Amino acid sequence: MLGLTVSHYRITGKLGTGGMGVVYDADDLKLPRKVALKFLPDELAEDQDAVRRFAREADTIALLSHANICTIYDVDTHDGRQFIAMERIEGVTLKAILGREDLELARLVDIATQITAALGAAHAKGIVHRDIKPGNVMVTEDGRVKVLDFGLARQFRILGSGQEGLEGSTIPGRPLGTANYMAPERILQMPLDPRSDLFSLGVILYEMATGRLPFAGSSPSVTVTNILDREPEALTTLAPDRPAALDHVVTRLLAKRAADRYQSAEHLAEALARIQAPPSTLATRLLRRLRPAR
């Protein structure tokens, strides 16, 4: 599709391919800006369920306006194929960052706090992302975090009793998403609950802190069993230099029961704000700065 003009966008390159979309780099011919165009993969173009999910992604993102969520500009069709025109983000995925470096505590907390802010904005609009993972988080060159890919997102409604309830229906069969980051209630296909996104963020925090996934098994079925029945190895065992406050936050996020986790993104943000580097770590850094170069 290189060089093709789609609506008022000229495609200049391919950015990537995922299970639910092919994303192209493009120039906006009406405004002086770069955009990203997302199409359904060819093999899913005739899949009515995939088409519905794709349309729902556009509708969902359109409800959201937040600095930590990718902005949607337009939804249109080309040769019968729907596409989404969205913000072109200059940066790399958190997945790529984790594959090449260990994150210092301050940066880890900053990334987690920005993801939390994005989730708080979505939850406030009655939206559960359902696929929070490092591959769906972009980090720009100046450190701004952008949450992407709302293709599996669903809306929930707050009932008069104060309990969250499912709006619409789920698709029978296995739950959609990435097993390593799924909350137990997602695996069991229980009613939609925004706290499942917080569980997924807990998995990301554990991974950022230790370099390992808390529930990864030799197969997806083993991973699912681990999520439902087993506790992960203590974060402080794998990364003893990480503060106990971080371990406490992650442990609570990874609770099997949603009622035992932080009950909102706002509560999680407050807990993250209280995490500080241990004095020994701060002292070590100061000594490194004061020590004369050889």
Do the beta carbons of residue 225 and residue 217 sit within 8 Å?
yes
The C-alpha atoms of residue 184 and residue 175 are separated, in whole angstroms, by 11
The C-alpha atoms of residue 223 and residue 220 are separated, in whole angstroms, by 5
The C-alpha atoms of residue 215 and residue 209 are separated, in whole angstroms, by 14
Do the beta carbons of residue 148 and residue 136 sit within 8 Å?
yes
Identify the DSSP state of 115: H
The C-alpha atoms of residue 200 and residue 118 are separated, in whole angstroms, by 13
The C-alpha atoms of residue 275 and residue 109 are separated, in whole angstroms, by 8
Decide: residue 262, CB within 10 A, 0-12 exposed, 13-18 middle, 19+ buried: buried
Annotation says 102 is catalytic:
no
Do the beta carbons of residue 275 and residue 205 sit within 8 Å?
no
| Catalytic residue of the set 47, 49, 131, 229 | 131
CA distances from 116 to 127, 144, 219, 248 (A): 14, 13, 29, 17
Do the beta carbons of residue 74 and residue 61 sit within 8 Å?
no
The residues assigned a catalytic role are: 131
